[in-house]
Amino acid sequence: MTDNKLIHRGKLLSIYRERVELRTDGHTYFDIVKHPGGAVIAAINDNNEICLVHQWRHAVQKVIWELPAGCLETGEPPMETAKRELEEEAGIIADDWTDLGTIVTSPGFSDEILYFYVARTLHAGQQKLDDAEQLEVHWVALDDAYQMAQDGRITDAKTVAMLFRLSRL
């Protein structure tokens, strides 16, 4: 029996209260965040530098280090999202792309899936920031980015996860 109730529908996500049958008798309810998913891009140039954005995040009330990333639009394949977001946020176009798989960000309460891509053979595109985006683009030596994740200067989970995957290539 499904007994799911929409609690909130926002611009980006929706929250549902979902009935979950227990393995024993009975049931409980979970509040689940429905999210369209997103693409995360590790753009690496010929000098082995990675593109990081230093971006204001209202939810945590500070500027944090992140990789370029963005939400999937309805019907948009994740690779197309990655290409679009890399140009929009960082002003970069890449000719070579590698798929590094996916992660689930918070499976205890969200269905969000992030798709990881490495972008190489880079050239200039046209940066097109949204009105709400406040960020600066930086090129950081890849080894320095690993150190930033290790010592806590990078706290964004998707960026830490991507750097871990990159370090294992």
Residue 120 pLDDT grade (very low, low, confident, very high; cuts 50, 70, 90)? very high
Identify the weakest region by mean pLDDT among 13-27, 46-60, 110-124, 152-166: 13-27
CA angle 154, 38, 4 (to 5 degrees): 115
Arithmetic mean of pLDDT, 140-156: 98
- d(C-alpha 43, C-alpha 92), whole Å: 8
Q: How many C-beta atoms lie closer than 10 Å to residue 81's C-beta?
A: 23
Same domain (yes/no): 134, 100: yes
Q: How many domains does the chain have?
A: 2
Same domain, 63 and 15: no
The range of the structural domain enclosing residue 128 comes to 36-167
Per-residue pLDDT for 158 more than 60? yes
Is the pLDDT reported for residue 2 higher than 70? no
Query: Structure pTM?
Result: 0.93
111 pLDDT band, cuts 50/70/90, is very high
Give the tens place of pLDDT for each residue, 123-142.
Answer: 999 999 988 889 999 999 99
Specify the pLDDT at position 47.
98
Q: Are both 25 and 90 inside the same structural domain? A: no
Q: How far is CA 157 from CA 19, 48, 64, in A?
A: 29, 22, 11
